[in-house]
């Protein structure tokens, strides 16, 4: 775990936001979403991110905007973005540490031994409880939604069983606010996986390990 002073880091990074004219609200929203993931993971040196979950948390609806803002935050030394370029393996992020102490150089990966300040768990629960959540009443409601969207019952069951098993939370930590949006992100990801598998199968079909006699009629 990094030695991070939660309060000083946020105070310092917001001061930097004020001075940085390159930033827009989408950059700030994305940064705060990444910071929340970092905080919930107890400030590791790096952590894996899920694109759909981060987009939902930061209210970014476009993949292009999401990736553009990630690359910008990396280029402007707010984070270090480590893309995986693999749909089966998540990308990683390193959060560059900010502080308000005069002796510290901003934007470094390591700090001196400063005790981490983590928000009170009860406060986090109060914040979560204050958000009006929208979860499915039962499995049938989920299956009906998937069928209306042109998906199979099996895919709906996969979605329902997965999120029921982790308490309807994103990454197992952040409570889902709108399950319809989460389901649609699930469908988008399933489409991406199907495309990758289809390409893989087509490549395999061009190869054969069988010994054939091409002198015989087809």
This prediction has a pTM of 0.52
What is the structure's pLDDT at 33?
Answer: 93
What is the structure's pLDDT at 118?
Answer: 47
Residue of 55, 84, 72 lying closest to 20 (CA atoms): 72
How far apart (Å, rounded) are the C-alpha atoms in residues 16 and 98?
Answer: 9
The CATH fold assigned to 6-119 is Arc Repressor Mutant, subunit A (1.10.10)
Residuewise pLDDT in 10s, the chain (218 residues): 567 788 889 899 999 999 999 999 999 999 999 998 888 888 888 888 888 889 999 999 999 999 999 999 999 999 999 988 776 677 899 999 887 554 444 444 443 333 444 444 454 454 444 445 578 889 999 999 999 989 999 999 999 998 888 888 876 677 887 888 888 888 888 776 666 556 555 555 555 555 555 444 54
What is the structure's pLDDT at 4?
Answer: 78
What is the structure's pLDDT at 76?
Answer: 94
> What residues does 48 pair with on adjacent strands?
92
- The DSSP output letter for 23 is -
Sorted by where each begins, the domain ranges of the chain are: 6-119, 129-202
Strands (E) across the chain are located at 47-49, 79-82, 91-95, 169-170, 174-175
What is the structure's pLDDT at 123?
Answer: 43
How far apart (Å, rounded) are the C-alpha atoms in residues 171 and 197?
Answer: 24
> What residues does 170 pair with on adjacent strands?
174
How far apart (Å, rounded) are the C-alpha atoms in residues 150 and 136?
Answer: 18
What is the structure's pLDDT at 112?
Answer: 37
What is the structure's pLDDT at 113?
Answer: 38
Residue of 55, 79, 56 lying closest to 67 (CA atoms): 55
Residue of 105, 30, 19, 102 lying closest to 66 (CA atoms): 30
CA angle 92, 96, 99 (to 5 degrees): 150
- Distance of CA 24 to CAs 18, 59, 158, 169, 195, Å? 11, 14, 37, 28, 33
What is the structure's pLDDT at 25?
Answer: 94
């Amino acid at each position: 775990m990094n030695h991070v002073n939660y309060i000083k880091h946020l105070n310092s990074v917001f001061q930097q936001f004020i001075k940085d004219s390159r930033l827009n609200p989408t950059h700030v929203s994305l940064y705060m979403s990444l910071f929340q993931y970092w905080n919930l993971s107890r400030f590791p040196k790096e952590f894996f991110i899920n694109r759909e979950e981060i987009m939902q948390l930061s209210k970014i609806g476009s993949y292009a905007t999401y990736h553009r803002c990630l690359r910008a935050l990396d280029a402007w030394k707010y984070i270090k973005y480590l893309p995986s370029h693999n749909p089966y393996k998540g990308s990683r992020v390193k959060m560059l540490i900010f502080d308000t102490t005069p002796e510290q150089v901003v934007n470094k990966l390591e700090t001196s031994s400063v005790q981490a300040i983590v928000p009170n768990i009860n406060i986090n629960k109060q914040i979560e409880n204050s958000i009006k959540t929208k979860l499915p009443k039962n499995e049938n409601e989920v299956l009906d939604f998937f069928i209306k969207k042109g998906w199979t019952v099996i895919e709906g069951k996969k979605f329902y069983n997965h999120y029921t098993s982790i308490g309807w939370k994103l990454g197992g930590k952040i409570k889902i606010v709108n399950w319809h949006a989460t389901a649609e992100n699930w469908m988008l990801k399933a489409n991406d996986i199907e495309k990758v598998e289809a390409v893989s199968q087509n490549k395999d079909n061009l190869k054969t390990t069988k010994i054939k006699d091409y002198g015989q009629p087809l």
